[in-house]
Amino acid sequence: MSRKNQTLGEFIIENQSSFKYTSGELSRLINSIRLAAKVVNHEVNKAGLVDILGAFGDTNIQGEEQQKLDVYANEKFIQTLTNRNIVCGIASEEEDDFISINSQDENNNNKYVVLIDPLDGSSNIDVNVSVGTIFSVYRRVTPVGTPVQLEDFLQKGSQQVAAGYVVYGTSTMLVYTTGHGVNGFTLNPAIGTFYLSHPNMTFPEDGKIYSVNEGNYIHFPQGMKDYIKYCQMEEGDRPYTSRYIGSLVSDFHRNMIKGGIYLYPKSSKTSNGKLRLLYECNPMALIAEQAHGKASDGFTRILDIEPTELHQRVPFICGSKNMVEKAEEFMRLKK
């Protein structure tokens, strides 16, 4: 039975039998993410002391300016997953296309692909605000031993085998699920070990926090404007408190612990939404549902959306179940 202060390694071994597939490959994959997260954490904590702050001087596939730490984190996660020969393919928010691993090796029997946002919220690094890593794991759908194909990555979120995030904040935490609840592990920097600190994490059904970039309010659809006004109205347990960090991992993590809702709707500036379905929304939606929360695009369950491209964007509403359902109610009224 899992217990607080259990190491992540012990937890993985003890709970391996509850995984849907028990070959040990998924356990090694989680361990490799743990290792890469520790390396990235070490570099994040040196920001300001070494030349790792600021823009890299290039843009990613979305046309966004890459930060130096974006590039560093991307390289470290890809390098760690590749060198350990655990996965057959990787897709990253920072890469134009997916990466096929050992595609020419006839003995490559790896079954998993990983999709990753190596450093979510990296624009906050320069001002010492929490950032994170988001990851998603699927079993490939093409034959084992052959090169991975695009269809291995374009799977519905409901097909995820595991998902998680790392938040690099006042303490560094790795939070993940394999479909049997959500558990959080805090890094002890003195010895470099993650310990179970938040077992069986769950969203409160209701909350008092709403997280949205209100600077975009004028561009939001009317249903979202009405919901925000509802959050601000003085009635019952309202008004709610507005809390927005600008790092999805950080906002999500706070809301899961305290109870709240995260809102990133489509707008007149971003007609399809801004957040990436495969790298951000799907993994966070799986974690939310496993933690008794809910995730939606305002009308449809996130995990039911059929992906059509690697860098697809969608509107994203996620958090405490009752709050998300109330937001959906406002959206439907003004559809």
Binding residues for Mg(2+): 93, 117, 119-120, 280
What amino acid occupies position 166?
A: V
Q: Residues annotated as binding site?
A: 93, 117, 119-123, 213, 244, 262-264, 274, 280
The tokens describing 201, both together, are 């994490």
In this structure, the strands spanning 241-242 and 55-59 are unpaired
Residue 57 C-alpha from the chain's centroid: 25
For 65-132, give the DSSP string: EEEHHHHHHHHHHHHHHHHTT--SEEEETTSSS-EESSTT-TT----EEEEEEEEETGGGGGGT--EE
What amino acid occupies position 314?
A: V
Cβ atoms of residues 24 and 57 within 8 Å: no
**Selection from 297, 333, 291 nearest residue 318 by Cα:** 297
Q: Kindly give the interhelix angle for 25-44 and 68-83, rounded to the nearest 10 degrees.
A: 150
| Sheet with 260-264: strands ordered across | 241-242, 209-211, 260-264, 316-320, 293-296
The tokens describing 173, both together, are 């935490």
Q: Residues annotated as binding site for substrate?
A: 120-123, 213, 244, 262-264, 274
Q: What are phi and psi of 184, to 5 degrees?
A: -115, 140
The tokens describing 211, both together, are 């997280």
Q: How many of the other CB atoms lie within 10 Å of CB of 184?
A: 22
- Whole-angstrom Cα distance, residue 212 to residue 315? 12
**Selection from 255, 304, 248 nearest residue 276 by Cα:** 248
Cβ atoms of residues 174 and 187 within 8 Å: yes
The tokens describing 231, both together, are 């959050």
